[in-house]
Homo-oligomer: A and B are copies of this chain.
Amino acid sequence: MKVSEIGEFGLIELLADIVDKSKNPQNASWQQLLIGIGDDAAAWQGDSSIQLATTDSLVQDIHFHLNITSWEELGWKAIAANLSDIAAMGGIPKYALVSLALPGELEVEYVSSLYQGMAQIANHFGIAIVGGDVVAASKVMITITVLGGLEDKSALTRSAAMPGDQVAVTGYLGVSAAGLRMLKQKLDFDVETTRLLKQAHLQPVPKVKEGQILLHQGVRAAIDISDGLIADLAQICKASQVSTIIKENSVPIHPVVQANFKADCRQLALAGGEDYELLFTATSQVIARVKQAISRPVTVIGEITAGMPGQVTVMDAVGESIPWQQGGWEHFKSQA
């Protein structure tokens, strides 16, 4: 079988299984491990607090296109995607390592700009870039590892959703995907709209503080929206062995997306991806506390049920289930 047939998620499951079957449970690293392959970040018990680590790669012409992003924006976004994974655990990001694969004929000036963008977001979130690697390759590829810690005794995970929980999301969705469409199709909007859509796609802001607030207020299950609302919600349901029913009308579509992408705004918000908002589940009491503590909008969009593990049902205004095509971003398969 080919990698494109099994797909990204199938492959990750297979690899996690190989690692799990071959591990030596006597080994101290395994004994201290709290969360391994399959969540937004790995977590283990450190000397006196929980440590987090996550890694993410961006590949030229797959994750980014040099005709629509500046090098500085690319540097920002590469780090942002990793910080968002730490945010989804409720963690505090601390250190980053950067591995760059670059063609030899690339201008040094571009690589400098890339690093300026990384340094900018690193400073903004108080993390230090402490190492990395530079290798030659025919296309640009950026792999970032971010290490962090937790102030709490446990992390937000994908696997803690419980039947009866409400499903909620921070902020408004669809802006990043709308921005990508604008940039690719060279759509023309007013200055302010153009700027908002462009920044949402090219310089997303990870919800680091928000993740910590969720955790402090008692949320246990969360993921960041990177692959798309439905796809990421399916990940929570699969990991937690639960189902969910969400109301399409409740999904907070960004007003700018509603106004400018009327026909497709639902698709952009439900399947677009890369909004880097936080999607979480909790009791209604906990969600009420979160709304008090957080300065960002929090919208309840549905609830967790005890149905088929991993199933996401989307309901329309009159309570009819909408046939939903899997529209999240999955590598390999999405290329076909």
B2 and A108 contact, CB distance less than 8 A: yes
Identify which of residues 46-82 in chain A touch chain B, using a CB-to-CB cut-off of 8 Å: 46-49, 53-59, 62-63
Q: A48-B48, A130-B42, A131-B37 are in contact. Are A119 and B57 (CB under 8 A)?
A: no
Which of A21-29, A215-223, A279-287, A310-318 contacts the other chain? A21-29
Report the Cα distance A1→B109, complex, angstroms: 7
Q: How many residues belonging to A are interface residues under a CB distance threshold of 8 Å? A: 85
Interface class of chain A by DSSP: mixed
A-B contact sample (19 more), CB < 8 A, given A22-B116, A36-B131, A37-B130? A2-B104, A2-B106, A3-B107, A3-B108, A3-B111, A4-B104, A11-B108, A22-B119, A22-B122, A30-B128, A44-B95, A44-B128, A48-B48, A53-B95, A54-B131, A55-B98, A57-B99, A59-B101, A137-B139
Residues of A whose CB lies within 8 Å of any CB of B are: 1-6, 8, 11-12, 14-15, 18-19, 22-24, 27-30, 33, 36-37, 39, 41-42, 44, 46-49, 53-59, 62-63, 94-95, 97-99, 101-109, 111-112, 115-116, 118-120, 122-123, 126-139, 141, 143, 145, 147, 331-332, 335-336
